[in-house]
Amino acid sequence: MQRENVWFLVGGVVLGILIAAITMNAVGRDPIVGGQGAGEVVEGPAGPRARTETGAAAPADGAAPMVAEMNALKQRVQDNPQDVASMVRLANLYHQVQMWNDAIPFYEMALEIQTDDPDLMSDLGICFRSVQRPDDALQLFERAHKLHPDHWQSLFNIVVVAGFDLQQFERADEALAQLEAFDPRPPQLDSLRDELNKARAASSAG
């Protein structure tokens, strides 16, 4: 029996760490606050100020400006299909309000142009996982790690998806061992290993 996943993924352009264990309630953080100009590449949606609770939405008083910005960004992308900054900004806005299916095509468009960007792969992978496509998510995280072995977020996400979602514990163990060799060592690895071992035991018992 699959054990409920208790880890969040780490976003691509994270400035801090977003790996909070779910206890009785998901850990909620303030949403990214507006103020950046349209077309600017903003902090990744899963950064330290992104919401983590399922079903989170933009504040009501900020919805109209956000919709207006989204529409303007869509027009920019339509007018200039090479405008990666607008694609990423739009995808991040959708990601921020957990509109995963709307974010996916814009991340994919951006990746067609910036084919080796591990941050884009990570954020697109989070979207895939959020719409119950863990195999596609894992494929992206593996691709990011292969292209950028020093991108520890990709390895962390491999552990989460391979271990908790797909019960591919051998692959999760390999990725975790690689993470533990990083200097400086990424945070939360001891807790991650403990939870992975619990998931392994639950899978064997089920």
- Mean pLDDT across 144-162: 96
The answer as to whether 27 is a domain residue is no
Write out the residue range of the structural domain in which residue 64 sits: 60-205
Say what the pTM is: 0.74
Closest CA to 4 of 188, 153, 139, 195: 195
Name the residue with higher pLDDT: 155 or 21. Answer: 155
Q: In 38-111, at which residue ranges do the beta strands (DSSP E only) sit?
A: none
Which segment of 4-8, 14-18, 177-181 scores lowest on mean pLDDT? 14-18
Looking at residue 144, which CATH number applies to its domain? Answer: 1.25.40.10
CA distance 16 to 78: 33
Q: For the segment 58-78, what is each residue's pLDDT rounded down to a tens digit?
A: 445 668 899 999 999 999 999
Tokens of 126: 């989070």
Share of the chain above pLDDT 90, in %: 67
CA distance 42 to 128: 21
The answer as to whether 32 is a domain residue is no
The answer as to whether 10 is a domain residue is no
pLDDT at position 172 is 98
CA distance 114 to 175: 25
pLDDT at residue 1 is higher than 80: no
Tokens of 115: 């084919």
Name the residue with higher pLDDT: 44 or 132. Answer: 132
Which segment of 57-71, 72-86, 117-131, 147-161 scores lowest on mean pLDDT? 57-71
Share of the chain above pLDDT 70, in %: 70
The answer as to whether 50 is a domain residue is no
Q: For the segment 13-53, what is each residue's pLDDT rounded down to a tens digit?
A: 332 233 333 222 222 222 222 223 333 334 444 432 222 23
When divided into structural domains, the chain yields a total of 1
The answer as to whether 80 is a domain residue is yes
The answer as to whether 109 is a domain residue is yes
The answer as to whether 53 is a domain residue is no
Q: Among all chains, which residue has been given the structure tokens 């061992």?
A: 177
The answer as to whether 33 is a domain residue is no
